[in-house]
Amino acid sequence: MGNVKTIAVLTSGGDAPGMNAAIRAVVRAGIHYGFKVLGIRKGFEGLIHGDIQEMTARTVGDIIHRGGTILQTTRSPLFKTEEGLHKAMSMAKVFGIDAIVVIGGDGSFRGALDLCRLGMNVIGIPGTIDNDIACTDYTIGYDTAMNTVQDAIDKIRDTAYSHERCSVLEVMGRHAGYIAVNVSISGGAEAVVLPERTLDIDVDVIKPIIEGRNRGKKHYLVIVAEGVEGKAIEIAKEITDKTGIEARATILGHIQRGGSPTVHDRVMASMMGAKAVETLRDGNSNRIIAFKDNQVVDLDIEEALKMQKTLPEELIELSKMLSL
């Protein structure tokens, strides 16, 4: 790695609460260690078009508690082309950028790897509500999103009880069921439908609802992960048809991506942001910052992107066991 003097930071892909806390940590740790820090707006798209400005300790004041990302974010199809990638590299040269810190998900890290292959120093920080990045146990935004869902569950539960209804709640998570399985436990769901498992609706959903009713339950909750495409409405209809219980589907949608980050997300983002800068200060690059065995570590980007992650079977079993 060359002598890094100027670091640029960007957010890319889907936004997540806590991204601002990560930006703040990168900027302030960067200043602390004597780097010049630039902010790239709108992810890789902003890099291509030179939407870049210098960051100071003050430009990141008053943002740690705000959801979203002050640098804004995009999904950039242009960046995925050879032409876009080369334009991005040339613009990085124009601004004298020696290293780029990419805060985003798996797709953003693949973009960072492309930059790294052309000679740019890159560091990735996992920022996505889905917790679906294989190399890390935790991604920034996950805790806040789950708390937002839990808040919705508690409200829906009140009205479901009054009307003796079944609520079918679709939650985010892209192709993964991390949010779904955790909120099925914290929300006391009768059933959870996950993209990682094939669904047998009679066994997995209808049976626990009927058994619950026969034991005296007055309302029911079914969590459906969005990765089980478009299923929430269908599942609600089938529950009504088969059990006679009125079932209503609620698709929570983007409410899960917003809001003030929890303490956990702010602290994780702060630790990961500082670690990204410290990795560069130590002369290392082309790393992904990860949370492994309760520690913030840095991993080789190519190795990190080859890793696989599976949903813990124990969580699925726990959810079932406690839904009696």
Residues in 247-306 at the binding interface with ligand ADP, rule: CB under 6 A: none
Q: Which is nearer to ligand ADP, 110 or 157 (CB)?
A: 110
Interface pick for ligand ADP out of 17, 18, 30, 104 (rule CB under 6 A) = 104
Q: Are strands 121-126 and 52-54 parallel, antiparallel or unpaired?
A: unpaired
Residue 184 lies near ligand ADP (rule: CB under 6 A)? no
Q: How many CB atoms lie within 10 A of CB 83?
A: 10
Per annotation, catalytic residue among 15, 98, 114, 130: 130
Question: H or E element: which one contains 207?
Answer: helix 207-214
- Give catalytic status of residue 265 as yes or no: no
Least distance in Å: CB of 244 to ligand ADP? 42
- Hey, is 237 helix, strand or coil? helix
Residue 81's contacts (CB-CB under 8 Å, 6 or more residues apart) are none
- Amino acid identity for residue 227 in this structure: G
Place of tokens 């009927």: 210
DSSP track, 133-173 = -TT-S--BTHHHHHHHHHHHHHHHHHHHHHHT-EEEEEE--
Residue 18 lies near ligand ADP (rule: CB under 6 A)? no
Least distance in Å: CB of 36 to ligand ADP? 25
User: In this chain, which stretch among 60-68, 109-117, 202-210, 287-295 interacts with ligand ADP, using CB under 6 A?
Assistant: 109-117
Q: Is 94 exposed, middle or buried (0-12, 13-18, 19+ CB in 10 A)?
A: exposed
Site string for ligand ADP, 80-99 (x = CB under 6 A): x-------------------
Q: Are strands 99-104 and 52-54 parallel, antiparallel or unpaired?
A: unpaired
Radius of gyration of the chain (CA): 22
CA dihedral defined by 51, 266, 143, 112, rounded to 10 degrees? 40
Count of positions on this chain that bind ligand ADP (CB under 6 A): 17
Residue 178 lies near ligand ADP (rule: CB under 6 A)? no
Residue 208 lies near ligand ADP (rule: CB under 6 A)? no
Q: What is the DSSP letter of 255?
A: G
Interface pick for ligand ADP out of 18, 67, 111, 227 (rule CB under 6 A) = 111
Q: Taking the mean position of all CA atoms in its chain, how far away is CA 134? A: 12
User: In this chain, which stretch among 9-17, 164-172, 255-263, 269-277 interacts with ligand ADP, using CB under 6 A?
Assistant: 9-17
Site string for ligand ADP, 215-254 (x = CB under 6 A): ----------------------------------------
289: phi then psi, degrees, rounded to nearest 5: -80, 130
Least distance in Å: CB of 128 to ligand ADP? 5
Residues in 38-77 at the binding interface with ligand ADP, rule: CB under 6 A: 44, 75-76
**Which residue has its beta carbon closest to ligand ADP?**
107
6, β-bridge pairs: 36
Interface pick for ligand ADP out of 7, 9, 10, 14 (rule CB under 6 A) = 14
290: phi then psi, degrees, rounded to nearest 5: -135, 160
Q: Which is nearer to ligand ADP, 166 or 268 (CB)?
A: 268
Helices 19-32 and 263-281 sit at what angle, rounded to 10 degrees? 40
Least distance in Å: CB of 14 to ligand ADP? 4
Residue 142 lies near ligand ADP (rule: CB under 6 A)? no
Residue 17 lies near ligand ADP (rule: CB under 6 A)? no
Residues serving a catalytic function are 130
Q: What are the residues binding ligand ADP (CB under 6 A)?
A: 12-14, 44, 75-76, 79-80, 104-108, 110-111, 114, 128
